[in-house]
Amino acid sequence: MTIMFNIGFCCYLVALVLSAINSFHTKRGLSIASTASLAAGVLVQTAYIAVRWAEAGRAPFSNMFESLVLFAWAVAVVYLVLRIRTHVPALEAAASLLAVLALAYASAFESDIKPLMPALQSNWLSVHVFTCFLGYAGFAVSFVASIGYLIVSREGAGGNSELQNAFDTAMTKTISFGFLFLAVGIITGAVWANSAWGTYWSWDPKETWSLITWLIYAGFLHCRFMRGWRGKRAAWISIIGFASVLFTYVGVNFLLSGLHSYAK
């Protein structure tokens, strides 16, 4: 399995290099090659997750190593879906970078397959975690799109209106996607919690911060579609939202104790 992990990492790294070069010297061949490399990484990672699932006899989403592998996969998948309609080489480079960083960070944790603790022994594990991480991935891509928008729109940076619109559109699409899947993740988590602990909601730190994150992005969508907010204001809400995602995902695990403290 280690070989597949490394091959997936290399595919994402190649995609990062090619798309970064393509951001400055746009070539159709480079564009196709970088996207193909990213897609190859997804295929290899899919195989890796499937093999690990078969060996473990459960969904491999129970600790930091496994969740980071899932996160890298989800970021690449979300970008590739977005790529069908909106192609920005710099955004592809950023998405590839996120996948590379996630897998690099994953390598710092133990990769051994271990038995699930009793609280995680449920069929809800795969549904809850998978939907949450699709949501996180959507927010991650929206974050890099927001950064891209702010950089391009800087005064004196030769702002490109077409590129700004591409980043702005990517931001809105990925947040809408992430918001939906995070909502499903929270709902399935509540059902699972009631099954495991006898209560739908216990204000556990992870639950609380998931709700805070959801509310931030609900605010983004409200301001975008009801008040017409675009550009820098929307980008900053997206950035704040992703900071909340990171704290929910990583910060809560290591800084706050609760029912989800096992996810390390």
pLDDT for the residue numbered 28: 78
The structure tokens listed for 123 are 């069929």
Distance CA 241, CA 243 (A): 5
Which pLDDT score is estimated for 175?
96
The pLDDT of residue 180 is 96
Helices (H), 84-123: 89-106
Low-confidence spans in the chain with pLDDT less than 50: 262
Amino acid at position 223, single letter? C
- What does the pLDDT read at residue 263? 55
Q: Which residue, 194, 235, 189, 240, is CA-closest to 210?
A: 189
Q: How many CB atoms lie within 10 A of CB 226?
A: 8
The total of other beta-carbon atoms located within 10 Å of residue 27's CB is: 13
HEC-encoded secondary structure of 188-254: HHHHHHHHHHCCCCCCCHHHHHHHHHHHHHHHHHHHHHCCCCCHHHHHHHHHHHHHHHHHHHHHHHH
Place of tokens 């702005």: 168
Q: In the structure encoding, which two tokens stand for residue 28, read together?
A: 């159709």
Q: In the chain, helix, strand, coil percent, each to 5?
A: 80, 0, 20
Which sign, positive or negative, has the C-alpha torsion 13, 18, 21, 24? negative
pTM listed for this prediction: 0.91
pLDDT of residue 155: 56
- The upper half-sphere exposure of residue 264, i.e. CA atoms within 13 Å in the direction of its Cβ, equals 12
For residue 176, the tally of other CB atoms under 10 A from its CB is 16
